[in-house]
Amino acid sequence: MRRLRWGIIGFGEAGSAFAKHISQRIGQPVFVTDPLLNQNPVPSNLRERLQGSRVEIISSIPRLVEGSDIVISLVTPRAASEVALMAGAVRGRSVYVDFNSISPTEKRDVSRSFHDGAYLDGAVLGSVAVEGALANVAVAGPQAKPVCARLRSVGLRVSVAGAEVGAASALKMCRSIFMKGIECLLVETLLAAKEFKITDSVLKSIEKTLDTYGLYSMVQMLVTTHAVHCCRRADEMRSVTKMLDDMGTRGELSKATRAFLEASCRAGLPGHFKGRVPKNPDSVIKYLSEQR
């Protein structure tokens, strides 16, 4: 039985990590293409990435797609759609897994260039810089389950996000709302704490709360009480933003939090729930989504 032929578009940090990992798992070269690999001489940083990798450099995207069974795209967001359209124009038998960070709408648009089931929406959920090709990834699309099995066969940590193109990208973007938001929130918190020399006390207080609740219980507590206390919390955040302004410390996240709480208050959230904390956070989200 013929082994699957793997192709990777893009030989940056992610592309080179996946190429090295997959080639080691299958015991044969992986096809790779990247405009920089066609240069003479090849840039020094790419030469370093080529070391220890069993790859066969292909000069163009159409040639790589024609010769591969599974194509993984790991390019820059700016180039992602153009690359996908070039691959979709090749009417071969390959499956195209688009792991690039572009919007669900953009993924759905480019998927129309592929024959049925040939395009898979993918998302890298972990950190390639830290975990390499073992970073958690997700795929979505009509053929997500069988393609997921093939990706797992070469040791990738992959899950199925859904049967519709766009679900994996939406998963990544929704996750980014939280992860990037909390990153900036922590920086803003520590900038303020530094002014009063209370950094350790603030972090210990936050850690105690996190340890007490855990994620799901905290979601339950914060979202359900948001329904009743959003107006009071908005008032509290006005005091917070005034403190930050008085200190001359950046407070973009705190100002945005105040504005969000005020919007929930104006939307009539406390009145809708008659001042009672609802049992289910879904009811809060449902009400707010209907006010858009």
What CATH number is attached to the domain comprising 154?
3.40.50.720
* Amino acid, single-letter form, for residue 134: L
Query: Same structural domain for residues 37 and 152?
Result: yes
Query: Same structural domain for residues 129 and 16?
Result: yes
Give domain status of residue 176, yes or no.
no
| CB 71 within 8 Å of CB 96 | yes
Per-residue model confidence as pLDDT tens digits over 195-243:
999 999 999 999 999 999 999 999 999 999 999 999 999 999 999 999 9
What is the distance between the alpha carbons of residues 118 and 111, in angstroms, rounded to a whole number?
A: 8
| CB 89 within 8 Å of CB 112 | no
What is the distance between the alpha carbons of residues 176 and 170, in angstroms, rounded to a whole number?
A: 10
Instruction: Give every CB contact of residue 75 below 8 A, 6+ residues apart in sequence.
Output: 9, 10, 12, 15, 83, 100
Query: Same structural domain for residues 20 and 102?
Result: yes
pTM: 0.87
DSSP, residue by residue, 111-146: HTTS-TT-EEEEEE-S-HHHHGGGS-EEEESTTHHH
Query: Same structural domain for residues 42 and 109?
Result: yes
* Amino acid, single-letter form, for residue 231: C
Query: Same structural domain for residues 13 and 92?
Result: yes
Give domain status of residue 113, yes or no.
yes
pLDDT of residue 123: 97
Per-residue model confidence as pLDDT tens digits over 136-163:
999 999 999 999 999 999 999 999 999 9
pLDDT of residue 253: 96
Query: Same structural domain for residues 107 and 223?
Result: no
What is the distance between the alpha carbons of residues 259 and 183, in angstroms, rounded to a whole number?
A: 19
Query: Same structural domain for residues 132 and 227?
Result: no
Give domain status of residue 203, yes or no.
no
Give domain status of residue 190, yes or no.
no
Count of domains in the chain? Answer: 2
Structural domain span for residue 116: 6-171
Give domain status of residue 208, yes or no.
no
pLDDT band (50, 70, 90) for residue 1? low
